[in-house]
């Protein structure tokens, strides 16, 4: 067994936090992990230090973010009006995916992990993130899944063979960045999100599918902290994490 593997993950509950502030914190923790990995490369084995892992949970004031592979035309409102009429902000960021919305009532998770501590496979990483959300939604009696070629988690994903499931609608968006096998950014699960904000974008660049939330599907609101605890449980099981609450 590799004694240099660290499966401990420090969980940070950031609450409602400005997007740029959370982004800066992600960048800081990301740099901490990468710097330690680089230092370990030039140190004797006995002097090498374990790399830390973090899981940040938060929600943001209204904000739209556009990934590196996204298209600016998928923002359907002028940036000036976006601020004055919607009270929202806009950021271009270094992650995969197109445009998405973050706002109150949405559980945002930022795993900042050294995948050398778990497995070095980005495809598997993304699928396990999705699986943690699928299992969380199953806890509430909702059958969710994936749609081929589309990242994220969907209800009505099997509408072609199960019409009773309703038309496809996205409940969780995902977009990550990884460098030197260290991850940042993550997922955004609509818990009790005001879905009207999605009317001003083409969510994730997908024109023919709807967006939904846990509250919209259940008909009642669930506390964000409760959902976060369930997601954390499933992530810890799937990744075999040892959780450290902060």
What pLDDT shows up at residue 166? Answer: 86
Domains of the chain from N-terminus onward: 8-239 (3.30.930.10)
Q: Place 206 in a pLDDT band, splitting at 50, 70 and 90.
A: low
* Rounded alpha-carbon distances, angstroms, from residue 10 to 43, 53, 55, 61, 246: 25, 6, 6, 24, 7
pLDDT value at residue 1? 38
pLDDT tens, position by position, 19-59:
999 999 999 999 999 999 999 989 888 889 999 999 999 99
Please state the separation of Cα 75 from the chain's center in Å: 20
Contacts of 57 (CB under 8 A, 6+ apart): 11, 12, 13, 14, 107, 108, 109, 110, 228, 231, 232
Characterise 138 by phi-psi region: left (phi > 0), alpha (psi -120 to 50), beta (else): alpha
Query: pTM value?
Result: 0.93
- The pLDDT, as a whole number, for residue 208 is 66
What's the mean pLDDT in 187-213? 85
Listed residue (42, 54, 71, 75) closest to 11, CA to CA: 54
Angle at 94 between CA 92 and CA 95, to 5 degrees: 110
Paired tokens of 27: 């960048």
Cα(113)–Cα(111) distance, integer angstroms? 6
Enzyme catalytic residues:
204
Give the whole-angstrom CA distance, residue 239 versus residue 5.
13
Question: Cα-flanking dihedrals φ and ψ of residue 133, to 5°?
Answer: -75, -40
* 3 pLDDT more than 70: no
Cα separation, 27 vs 76, whole angstroms: 29
114-171: per-residue pLDDT in tens? 999 999 999 999 999 999 999 999 999 999 999 998 889 999 988 888 888 889 999 9
């Amino acid at each position: 067994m590799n004694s240099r593997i660290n499966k401990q993950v420090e969980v940070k509950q950031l609450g409602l936090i400005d997007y740029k502030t959370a982004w800066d914190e992600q960048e800081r923790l990301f740099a901490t992990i990468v710097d330690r990995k680089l230092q370990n490369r030039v140190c004797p084995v006995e002097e090498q230090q374990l790399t830390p892992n973090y899981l940040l949970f938060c929600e943001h004031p209204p904000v739209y973010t556009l990934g590196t592979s996204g298209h600016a035309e998928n923002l359907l409102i002028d940036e000036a009006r976006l601020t004055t009429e919607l009270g929202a902000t806009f950021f271009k960021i270094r992650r995969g995916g197109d445009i998405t919305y973050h706002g109150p009532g949405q559980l945002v998770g930022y795993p900042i992990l050294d995948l050398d501590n778990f497995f070095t496979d980005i495809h598997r990483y993304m699928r396990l993130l999705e699986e943690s959300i699928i299992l969380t939604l199953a806890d509430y009696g909702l059958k969710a899944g994936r749609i081929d070629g589309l990242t994220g988690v969907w209800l009505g994903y099997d509408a072609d063979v199960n019409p009773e499931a309703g038309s496809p609608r996205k409940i969780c968006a995902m977009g990550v960045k990884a460098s030197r096998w260290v991850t940042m950014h993550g997922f955004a699960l609509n818990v009790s999100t005001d879905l009207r904000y999605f009317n001003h974008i083409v969510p994730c660049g997908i024109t023919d599918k709807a967006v939904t939330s846990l509250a919209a599907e259940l008909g009642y609101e669930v506390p964000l902290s409760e959902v976060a605890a369930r997601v954390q449980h499933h992530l810890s099981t799937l990744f075999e994490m040892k959780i450290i609450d902060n």
